[in-house]
Amino acid sequence: MGDVLDDTQRFGYGLKFENAFLRERGKAFETLFARIMAHAHPGDFQPVRPYGPRGDLKCDGYRASDGTVFQCYAPDSMKVDPLVAKIDEDFNGAVGHWAAKMRRWEFVHNDVRGLAAEAVQKLADLGMSNPSVALAVCGEAELRSIVMGLALHQLEDLFGTVPSDRALERLDFTALRPVLLAIQRQEPDADPPLTAPSAAKLEYNALSDDAAGLLRQGRRREQLVEAFFAAWPDPDFGEEIAQAFRVRYQALKASGLSADEIFGELQAFTGGMTGEPGRQGAVLAVLSYFFERCDIFEDAIRADAT
């Protein structure tokens, strides 16, 4: 048994998985999947790589315990006709190459929306035509379930460290100072917005449960950030940081990124969720502070006014 994740770690690794799932394509996605499965099924799952003119024999991984052949498909853009053709080609190819060993075939994909109806129909047809082989699908939800069942040391190997409840509790001014100084970039607004965030702000911005959870955890140290600005010799320092966040957020929003993608970019802007957990906790506390002050993301009150 691995260590039980606390709330901050659970939200942190959930978001890191989501970012990796959305980011990786093609061979990089296959590598991510293989690393996850090797941790989830040590000594049982075997990654398969192309070798020589015969390639990978229509198999990206094999689990001996239940005879599962895994096939990954993670294009830059999921289109119906190539998707259906890929399922048909890869399944029938696997039947030809792995017939004596394949009792189960699992199609692994990167479409967070789920498979198109035509693809589901194709899988059903193949299952009816090949009753000796069980067919399954692994998408974002299924892979997330596997990832979040891993032990802490396995998650650290896959995605690096994340802050914990304890790291947030132990934050002090020393951790905050370099983070805040690093984002002191812009001149302050003459008349910054001061409206407090509404209770529906998280929901209105369509942030995932993991991103929203991290922001809530960061609020535990909101008073520390506030006290830091109050003690800083330059009274305009906090507004300079706020303006840097506003400018960065507006640029990211204008580029058409999703809410979680913007959140990830703002994490990177603040200093990134890398390095020792105490520093990551400082990044999270600063992000949460400016989120609550309406310097980043939209306040739900604006939706009511339209």
SS3 sequence of the chain: CCCCCCHHHHHHHHHHHHHHHHHCCHHHHHHHHHHHHHHHCCCCEEECCCCHHHCCCCCCEEECCCCEEEEEECCCCCCHHHHHHHHHHHHHHHHHHHCCCCCEEEEEECCCCCCCHHHHHHHHHHHHHCCCCEEEEECHHHHHHHHCCCCHHHHHHHHCCCCCHHHHHCCCHHHHHHHHHHCCCCCCCCCCCCCCCCCCHHHHCCCCHHHHHHHHHHHHHHHHHHHHHHHCCCCCHHHHHHHHHHHHHHHHHHCCCCHHHHHHHHHHHHCCCCCCHHHHHHHHHHHHHHHHCCCCCCCHHHHHHC
Q: List the one residue out of 301, 302, 206 whose CA is nearest residue 260.
A: 206
pLDDT > 90 in the chain, percent: 43
State the pLDDT at residue 146. 97
CB 223 within 8 A of CB 292: no
Spell out the domains of the chain, with CATH numbers in brackets.
7-147 (3.40.1350), 163-305 (no CATH)
State the pLDDT at residue 55. 54
For the stretch 204-257, pLDDT in tens is 677 888 888 888 888 888 888 888 888 888 888 888 888 888 888 888 888 888
* CA 82 distance to own-chain centroid: 26
What type of residue sits at position 127? Answer: G
pLDDT tens for the chain, 306 residues long, are: 447 899 999 999 999 999 899 889 999 999 999 999 999 999 999 998 866 445 568 899 999 999 999 999 999 888 999 999 999 999 999 999 998 899 999 999 999 889 999 999 999 999 999 999 999 999 999 999 999 999 999 999 999 998 899 888 888 777 777 777 766 543 433 443 333 334 456 666 778 888 888 888 888 888 888 888 888 888 888 888 888 888 888 888 888 888 888 888 888 887 777 778 888 888 888 888 888 776 677 765 544 444
State the pLDDT at residue 283. 85
CB 16 within 8 A of CB 156: no
